[in-house]
Amino acid sequence: MEKTLVQTGSDAARLFKIILYGPESTGKTTLAADLAKHYKTAWVPEYMRSYLEEKWEQHQTPISKEDLIPIAKGQLAWEEKIASQVDKLLICDTNLLELKVYSKYYYDGFVPDFILNNISKSDKEIYLLTNIDVPWEPDGMRDRPFDREKMFEMFENELKHNGFQYHIMKGNREERLQKAIKIIDKLIDI
């Protein structure tokens, strides 16, 4: 059996994990960076973006089912590495639940067992679901400007179905940041 890469032991027990989650082009990366700056902590970037940009640069091929497990393993490895560098708060620009939603969407419901088996659930995890109330911005990687409502609904339904704690982030950059800070400050004493 493969080694599980999720946080275990003292790292998982000591950290609150804030997960930015939602459809493409909804401000996840911006909010993750803003929160990390506010709380003077590190944040975990989206591994999928890095992986796919490199794949495209080297081979000019789009994502395929075969990429899902390497992407999941890369995301977990980045989380593990950065979790070891912070004390109380880990901010993640996406996680495996996000990859699950995209996998279901793009591959007719298919999700690799590795992803399903490594989605964690903890009372120290809070999802910040980014709304589609910000303009969609093309960047070469994004490809679904007309499915934003459907995608948002899929993301929220996944949270509800699994019983994850979440809050919807609406408004402009500053409004989202202030709302997130209020939510996080209530959870932890920093």
Please report the pLDDT score of residue 82 as a whole number. Answer: 96
What pLDDT band is residue 10 in, cutting at 50, 70 and 90?
A: very low
On whether residue 119 sits in a domain, the answer given is yes
72-99 pLDDT, tens digit per residue, is 999 999 999 999 999 899 999 999 999 9
d(CA 190, CA 187): 9
More confident residue, 69 or 57: 69
d(CA 34, CA 175): 12
Please report the pLDDT score of residue 7 as a whole number. Answer: 41
Full domain range(s) for residue 107: 12-187
Q: How many domains does the chain have?
A: 1
Work out the end-to-end distance of the chain between its first and last CA atoms, rounded to an integer number of angstroms.
39
% of the chain residues with pLDDT over 70: 88
Q: Which residue type is seen at 20?
A: L
Q: For residues 44 and 78, is the Cβ–Cβ distance under 8 A?
A: yes
Closest CA to 171 of 58, 72, 26: 26
pTM over 0.85: yes
Residue 54's domain is classified under what CATH number? 3.40.50.300
On whether residue 3 sits in a domain, the answer given is no
On whether residue 52 sits in a domain, the answer given is yes
On whether residue 22 sits in a domain, the answer given is yes
User: With 60 as the cut, is the pLDDT of residue 6 above it?
Assistant: no
On whether residue 1 sits in a domain, the answer given is no
What mean pLDDT is predicted for residues 36-54?
Answer: 92
